Structure 1
């Protein structure tokens, strides 16, 4: 896992054909606050769903993970690393500090 700021996040994703963005916030947070366009949503507080999703992920991809402030996404990255997904990036400050584009689902 590597902690990265927004500037690093944007640069890395822009040049990464294997980038997958993961939002690990709750459904309520996503509904109320929005989501980064293109992100997949897997609530880390729904462990069975989250673990099933992680177990089906491609280890050759790069996973850019965020939550509301950065704590849950760091935890998600650690779990993903332990399950054989070595390329995880945690967005420092999370969605609360996100200054890029958002959308509502």
Structure 2
């Protein structure tokens, strides 16, 4: 024989629907309590095809940001790119010096940091952002480097 223990919240939920449980179950504060679901991860900006990125970086009004480290930037970068190190603890503060109305093309070593940087920039009010992906792919695609 099975024994069931019902709390008032569960009993109410059976009588009036799931919403009663969502409203009366406290957040997890210790052993035995129910935790709420974790917040979903913010999606990174998808990588744009190289051909599209190539067209954009040629435009005079577009700002190209290399979000790799200064050491990575020093080994080669797209012509005209500005280095803004995503791993710098001051990265969010450095974004404050940029014009939110401009169009930015971001890239890094793989497309991961540039995607995360784009999400952070969106949170700070930037709306015209392109994740160009990996430097090696852009270089192989014929974009000019220095």
Normalised by the length of structure 1, the TM-score is 0.85
Stretches of structure 1 lacking an aligned partner (at least 5 in a row) = none
Question: What CA RMSD, in Å, does the superposition of the two structures yield over aligned residues?
Answer: 1.5
Show the 5 A alignment for 1:61-76: 61-76=102-117
In 1: Cα distance, 2:112 partner to 2:46 partner: 13
The alpha-carbon deviation at position 2 of structure 1 amounts to: 5.6
Q: Under a length normalisation based on structure 2, what TM-score does the superposition of the two structures give?
A: 0.63
Q: Partners in 2 of 1:54 and 1:25 — Cα distance?
A: 15
Structure richer in strand, relative to its length: 1
| Alpha-carbon shift at residue 53 of structure 1 (Å) | 2.2
Structure 1 stretches of at least 4 aligned residues deviating more than 3 Å after TM superposition: none
**Which of 40, 55, 65 is the matching residue for 2:82?**
40
How far, CA to CA, are the matches of 1:63 and 1:7 in structure 2? 16
Distance 1:59 1:38 in 2: 19
CA distance in 2, matches of 1:102, 1:74: 21
Question: Which consecutive unaligned segments of at least 5 residues does structure 2 have?
Answer: 1-44
Kindly name which structure, 1 or 2, has the bigger radius of gyration based on alpha carbons: 2
After superposition, residues 75-86 of structure 1 pair within 5 angstroms as 75-86=116-127
The offset of 1:52, in angstroms, is 2.4
> Residue 89 of structure 1 aligns to a residue in which SS?
strand
1:1-105 alignment, distance < 5 Å: 1=45, 3-14=47-58, 16-32=59-75, 34-48=76-90, 50-92=91-133, 94-98=134-138, 99=140, 100-103=143-146
8 Å Cα contact 1:24-1:67 kept in structure 2: yes
Query: For 2:65, what is the secondary structure of its paired residue?
Result: strand
Write out per-residue CA displacement over residues 13-55 of structure 1, whole angstroms, 9 at most, x where no aligned residue. 33x44200000001111122x010111101100021x222211
